Structure 1
Amino acid sequence: MSNVTIAIAGRQYTVACGAGEEAHVEGLGALINGKLAGMGNTSGQSEARLLLYAALLLADELQEANERAKTMEEAQALDYEATAARLEALAGQLENADQHS
């Protein structure tokens, strides 16, 4: 186990992580901090509320990415089916051409 210190909204947090995961956790902290920074003027908001907003923004992005990935997988499946149908048609044409030769 390792400890990593990340800065979020001007505060330092020490987080435990597995050995070798330090850079990954630091990157996640930077991502959260970036979300908070992108929210604009957050003065007067509690720390818990700010972290909630950041979590909601990140969850929304994750959901959108999952939906895009699902749509891409479905499109690939349709493309594979269309390609398989074309190959079967070509194979049939080749068989017919060989039988008539």
Structure 2
Amino acid sequence: MGQVTLTVAGRSHTIACRDGEEIHLQRLEGILNQHAETALAASGGLSGERTMLFLALILADLLDEAERNPPGGVSPVLLDNLADRLEAVAAALEDRGENS
């Protein structure tokens, strides 16, 4: 079993991982640290726990945005809206056909 020490927002954490996952976890550490300064500022530096909460919120917001607007794809929200509009048009056409 592997082990890696990651430093996020100035705090070190040693975690166990599968052998060979160390490089992947270090890449994730880099992603976290891209947003660590913002999280530290938002938390006021009050506690590591609060900083990690803000870091999690930042990443959750990015994930939500990516899910709503996938790169190179169509947003599921846009597809739902389009489906609703098409159903409304179909219903209007059906009503029009019945009333003729």
Length-normalised TM-score, structure 1? 0.62
1:2 and 1:70, CA in 2 relative to 1: closer, same or farther beyond 3 A? same
Q: Structure 2: how far apart are the matches of 1:59 and 1:33?
A: 15
1:9 and 1:34, CA in 2 relative to 1: closer, same or farther beyond 3 A? same
Q: Structure 1: how far apart are the matches of 2:50 and 2:40?
A: 14
Within-5 A mapping of 1:71-82 = 72-73=73-74
AA matched with 1:68: N
Shift, 1:67, TM fit: 1.2
Corresponding residue of 1:61? 62
State the Cα RMSD in Å. Answer: 2.8
AA matched with 2:17: C
Aligned to 2:53, the other structure's residue is in SS state helix
Q: Structure 1: how far apart are the matches of 2:49 and 2:75?
A: 39
AA matched with 1:23: I
Larger Rg, first or second structure (1 or 2): 1
Q: Which runs of 5 or more residues in structure 2 are unaligned?
A: 80-100
Q: Which runs of 5 or more residues in structure 1 are unaligned?
A: 79-101
Q: Percent identity?
A: 37
Length-normalised TM-score, structure 2? 0.62
Aligned to 1:5, the other structure's residue is in SS state strand
4+ residue runs over 6 A deviation? none
- Render the CA deviation track for 1:26-80: whole Å, top value 9, x for unaligned: 11122212211234645542110000000000011011111112982469xx9xx
